[in-house]
Homo-oligomer: A and B are copies of this chain.
Amino acid sequence: PAALATYCLMLGDDALVYSHRLSQWTSNAPDLEDDIALANIALDLLGQARLLLARAAAADPSVVPVLPEGSPVPPEDALAFFRDDAGFRNVRLVEPEDADFGVTVARLLVFATYRLALLERLRSSDDTVLAAIAAKGVKEVAYHRDYAARWFLTLAQGTEESRRRLLAGLALVWPLRAELFDTHPVEAAAAGQGFGVDPAMVVDEVDVLLEQVLSVSGVERPDVRPTGPLGRGAGRDGRHTEALGRMLAEMQVVARAHPLGRW
């Protein structure tokens, strides 16, 4: 149950943090249609995050931060708003704030391709709750991937400027890709126990899918070094980028000011 809870936090935090980043596009997107689409993606991921955090709390209540007596804060919110950055288990790919739409398209393509491959396998999880979450998520994330792939092609083949920005964005995102497939002991245990997926099992599939999008767009893989771990750990161990702490300062400010609040 501890491994199940941590595994759910990993998948849930990926969704939660990335949803937050995408939600920052609201009222800032290049066009109304994209404002709506990005909000949709953020909403889908937020929904997945809520189910996954709730599953984590149910599997092992000890992962939920303890709040003052009488606090009506539900477990999903205690997890989202009362953990410090070191308690988050997401990969670092989802943390940075994007400087422009080019970075967003590149990041979403990589993230959605990876997550879709995971969720497809996770539909046959031994944990029926996880399997159900995955089944719902597959439909959503397939759309996210298509949206990103469509824009990837458009920006790559649009104007010189759009191509330049897309390539710059891809170069920024690409180094964070390796971490996705670097199996964490909890992921290994989750796969071993039949409720999770070892991400190393999807590395080739993701690679082929990304290669297809890149090649149809006429884009080469960036020649950049992967971002290494921090000492012996990375995002899944709670070792994050500087961006996460700043993000949480904003995300958690109201909730933390009112630990006994009802919302």
Contact = CB atoms under 8 A, between A and B. Distances in A.
A221 interface: no
A250 B257 CA distance: 13
Interface in A220-263: 246, 249-250, 253, 256-257
Contacts of A249: 249-250, 253
Nearest to A251: B249
**Interface size range of chain A in the complex:** under 10
A252 to B, nearest CB: 8
Nearest to A245: B253
Interface string A16-37: 0000000000000000000000
A253 B249 CA distance: 6
A85 to B, nearest CB: 11
Contacts of A250: 246, 249-250
Contacts of A257: 256
A246 B257 CA distance: 14
A100 to B, nearest CB: 14
A82 to B, nearest CB: 11
The 8 closest A-B pairs by CB, nearest first: A249-B253, A249-B250, A249-B249, A250-B250, A246-B250, A253-B253, A256-B256, A256-B257
Interface of A: 246, 249-250, 253, 256-257
8 contacts: A246-B250, A249-B249, A249-B250, A249-B253, A250-B250, A253-B253, A256-B256, A256-B257
